[in-house]
Amino acid sequence: MDLELFRTFLEVERLRHFGNAAKELFVTQAAVSSRIRLLEKQLGVSLFIRQTRQIELTPEGHRFKRYAERFVVEWRKARHDVSLGSDGQQLTFGGTFRVWGSGLQEWLHDVHREFPNIALIVESHTPETLVRRLLDGQLDVGFILEPPQIDSLEIVEVAQLQLVMVSDKPNITAEEALGPGFITVDWGLGQALQQRRLYPDAHEPTMRMAQAGIALEFILEFGGAAYLSTRLVLDEVKQGKLFPVKGAAVLDHMVYAIYPVRSERLELIEQLVELFEYRVALPKRRVKK
């Protein structure tokens, strides 16, 4: 099958729009429609339910998605392996959106400084997609806040993420910060329950944001408060743009590296995991399953 058919299918699935997929692929919308029809003809099934304002995957489309993702990733790996030669190495790693906003970028820089000859493939996913890609062999290592307990995956504590309540207003209390203008950032279920236990009488926030970086930019523009990582707000606090909220509890959140128990790159993965650290570094410790 043509690689472009797989790439086109994945773009349409991601954007749920033929026209937008065409723009991403730098082709016409007619070309995208033609590719999808050809792919469906070769498979003998319909992959999309086409409605007036919405495009959804059929059950067959959902099943095919996993194979399409694997095919595209393996092609990329094959192309890298061939171009690297017999002595080259590569690593495919991913982080969840939460971890990316809390220091994974710095780790990537450390890896390149320490191992400049390693070819890196970098991805960002939801926790569910990250785990699935690890199990499918499409990722070598992932970084996540709430790892699943799966026997085939090694789980290692690598760092402690510190969350502090900050506000654009100085000298306010936690009760004041938790009023109108407070933003709930999605740090995972564990942090949400911990915050609820600490502040049971707090009003339900009217704003929720999936990524810490989005919340930070919103607060700097319009004001407000939120629980953000100390690493993310370090510069803003130093510059007097944000202020730690008086009396607010500091929340600790563990960061984990997860990778397959059996891997051809296991030695390399373990070396790279050792480089992963935040302001509060922890000794490497495997999690009991």
| pLDDT, mean of residues 265-286 | 67
**Angle, in degrees to the nearest 10, between helices 29-43 and 3-15:** 110
Assess whether pLDDT exceeds 60 at residue 1: no
Question: Measuring CA to CA, which residue among 140, 106, 12, 121 is closest to residue 76?
Answer: 121
Would you place residue 272 in the very low, low, confident or very high pLDDT band (cuts 50, 70, 90)? confident
Which residues have C-beta within 8 Å of that of residue 73, sequence separation ≥ 6? 92, 133, 138
Considering Cα of 9, then 13, then 19, then 23, what sign does the dihedral take? negative
| pLDDT, mean of residues 130-139 | 84
| pLDDT, mean of residues 143-166 | 89
pLDDT at 86: 45
Measured distance CA(207)–CA(201) in Å, rounded: 17
Assess whether pLDDT exceeds 60 at residue 282: no
Phi, psi of 163 (to 5 degrees): -110, 130
Measured distance CA(71)–CA(4) in Å, rounded: 11
pLDDT at 111: 82
CA–CA–CA angle 151, 163, 131 (5° rounding):
25
Within 17-171, residue ranges assigned H as helices are 18-25, 29-43, 59-84, 97-99, 105-114, 127-135
Measured distance CA(5)–CA(93) in Å, rounded: 25
pLDDT at 221: 95
Q: What is the CATH number of domain 3-78?
A: 1.10.10.10
pLDDT at 283: 47
pLDDT at 119: 80
Average pLDDT over the chain, rounded to an integer: 85
Q: Which two tokens stand for residue 267?
A: 């030695």
Q: Bridge partners of 228?
A: 164
11-68 pLDDT tens trace: 899 888 898 889 888 889 999 999 999 999 999 999 999 876 788 999 999 999 988 8
190-243 pLDDT tens trace: 888 888 899 998 888 889 998 888 999 999 999 999 999 888 898 999 999 999
Measured distance CA(253)–CA(230) in Å, rounded: 12
58-96 pLDDT tens trace: 999 999 998 888 888 777 767 666 655 444 577 888 888
Q: What is the DSSP letter of 173?
A: B
Per domain, the residue ranges of the chain are 3-78, 99-289
Question: Measuring CA to CA, which residue among 102, 98, 139, 99 is closest to residue 122?
Answer: 139
Question: Measuring CA to CA, which residue among 63, 81, 77, 73 is closest to residue 7?
Answer: 73
Q: Over pLDDT 90: what percentage of the chain?
A: 35
Q: What is the CATH number of domain 99-289?
A: 3.40.190.290
Query: HEC string of 227-241?
Result: EEEHHHHHHHHHCCC
CA atoms within a 13 Å half-sphere pointing along the CA-CB vector of 200: 1
Q: Bridge partners of 157?
A: 256, 285
Measured distance CA(9)–CA(262) in Å, rounded: 31
β-strands 153-167, 243-244: how paired?
antiparallel
